[in-house]
Amino acid sequence: MKISIFGTGYVGLVTGACFANLGHEVVCYDIDKQKIKELQEGHVPFFEPDLEKMVKDSLKSGRISFIDDCSAGVGKADVIFIAVGTPSKKNGEVDLSYVENAASNIGRNLKKYALVVNKSTVPVGTAQLVKNIIKNYYKGEFDVASNPEFLREGDALLDFMKPERIVIGTETTKAEKMLRGLYSSFDCPLVSVKIETAEIIKYASNAYLATKISFINEIANICEKVGADVEDVSYAMGLDSRIGNKFLKAGIGYGGSCFPKDVRGLKNIALKNDYEFHLLKSVIKVNHRQKMFVIEKARKLIGKLEGKKICIWGLAFKPNTDDFRESLAIDIIKFLQKEGVIVNAYDPITDYEKIRKTASFGKEVKFFDDPCKALKGCDGLIVVTEWDEFRKIDLRKMKELLRKPNVIDGRNIYNPEMMAKFGFNYMSVGR
């Protein structure tokens, strides 16, 4: 099929590259001319394992192209995916301005029947909104569908090529048949539902996973008070097939571009429909409070924080990505700055200049190209992101470099007995 994709962020670019890899003819459009230029040269503007190679291979084969003129990507397309950003507004409502702009451009340039598919995570009713916008410009036949993505950053190619399920929401037989054909080579359940159902499935999934994280963090906080070990608790819970072991890892909370936004989004969808989602309000509250416990632990170990130097390991919201959107590290660093702390920070791949500019960090935050250099002379270490290289650090060397052997392990990557053996003042989560 001929596929056009609006947006070349994580979702759009992964979707385009994977469909091209499967033999479809793909055109990716973005308003960012510099990004398009980089993509035309085979350079992916963010880190996702193996994505750049897939893009280069598809460029070489001629199955994918990148344009900044949407008219060239709409006229010949059979399927048009909208994969633009849907950020949160200050009140938690989803900002649909990018979706609306994409719909307007599609309507202006549509020449024949096409299936327009919302791939972005959008509130219930967005498909109808897109349909109405396109109708303002195009009077011919077209369909709008919903096909939510379930891509984990760091594992996005695997998630796309070997999905656990594919959800399609349609309102016509023609649209359903086209999407079934597009995904016919995938070996997984294809869930075909009405559009409104498809639109809420992604929100429900992410909100439930966020709820599991907040739940196990609450259990971890109780474990600390009663002398139990949350690692053993979560392991035993996970053996129950009704519960499962995924997303039962205690830590300092969830972050990233999806969970916080989608939890707020679903809470707002409920409010707009005269329903107060009490559980999600608590999930959000627990997640915010979990970050603050890191500062409390720092005060317990280090004492007065003003004038102290603390090392932060990990700036991305999770391993195997350079994405720091709504990263817990940013909030923790800002909390420390308010306390008058000098921060040394290290992350394996995050763009330091970009994060300094985006997060408005001052000069008191110093970035390092080596985790050990960042440790030197610090009064304590806070592990925020569980990169594998942090697990492999020589503990003797770690202790020698720190001015004071204080370690707050926000991801429980170290063994408490081993840390005690090496003489660290060590605090983790729920142990």
Of 28, 258, 311, 378, the catalytic one is 258
The label of the residue with tokens 């979707």 reads 15
**258 a catalytic residue:** yes
Both structure tokens of 393: 């650090």
Distance CA 167, CA 151 (A): 13
For residue 358, count other CB atoms closer than 10 A to its CB.
12
**What residues act catalytically?**
258
